[in-house]
Amino acid sequence: MEKILLKNISKTFDLATEQKVLDNLNLEIASGEMLAITGVSGSGKSTLLYILGLLDHDFEGEYYIDDKSIQSLSDKELSLYRSKSVGFVYQDFNLIKELSAIDNVAMSLKINNLVLDRRSRLSRKEIYEKSTETLEKLGLKDHMKKHPGQLSGGQQQRVAIARSIVKKPDMILADEPTGALDRKTSADIMNCLLGLNDEGMTIIIVTHDNEIAGKCRRKVKLVDGVLV
């Protein structure tokens, strides 16, 4: 992931009232940075995260990655870039309860295979080798065959992080990743994300928790859609 540059980004949900969720926002994010985006509920944090993750294309302004405008990419190119380069971590884990931990992680690679050309696709053996390696890296060696309901909240979030990083993305976008966890488990998850950042991965965290934000290398604050 190279430098990210947002220029004059605005997002309006209600065209009748013209109330902007994001208002003329400018933000530069360096490669390998760990950034916290803070603000109260409704300040536009999650909307900004969806734009950064290429999930929301309906906005005004310009979005550049390594000096290339994402608006110049086709839907197929955007989908391929997002699949290969962006990983998401959510507050409520978003694991498939019917699948084991290793199958949840493997699912990420199986979905990724769908957008890759045939020569780049992983075999089933490779998928499960990479999934096993990633879960072991996150301290889940003894929990790989357990289903989400058999895991603690912290373990579920580690599975969610494993699912996010198994494809080795350039950037992780985490939306309140510790919001459903107790203080100690939150600290463990943050240490996990800090370790990934030390390895060079760009980490962007949305949070209303100042303690969590304080552990990031840099933080910005959104107030009514405006960076302050």
Q: Look up the domain containing 49 and give its range.
A: 4-227
pTM for the full model?
0.89
Q: Which residue has the tokens 């994402």?
A: 70
pLDDT higher than 70, residue 124: yes
Report the chain's C-alpha Rg in angstroms.
18
Structure tokens given for 120: 């780049």
Tally the C-alpha atoms within 13 A of residue 100's C-alpha that lie toward its C-beta.
Answer: 14
End-to-end CA distance of the chain: 26
Domain harbouring 100, CATH code: 3.40.50.300
pLDDT higher than 60, residue 189: yes
b vs e for 55-79, b when ≥16 Cβ sit within 10 Å of the residue's Cβ? eeeebebebbbeeeebeebeeeeee
Overall domain count for the chain: 1
Strands of the chain (E only): list them.
Answer: 4-14, 19-29, 34-38, 60-65, 68-69, 86-90, 171-175, 202-207, 218-223, 226-227
pLDDT higher than 70, residue 17: no
Strand partners, 113: none
Q: How buried is 22 (Cβ within 10 angstroms: 0-12 exposed, 13-18 middle, 19+ buried)?
A: buried
The pLDDT value given to residue 117: 81
Q: How far apart are CA 26 and CA 44, in angstroms?
A: 14
pLDDT in tens, 23-73: 999 999 999 999 999 988 888 898 999 999 999 988 999 999 988 899 888
pLDDT in tens, 43-54: 889 899 999 999
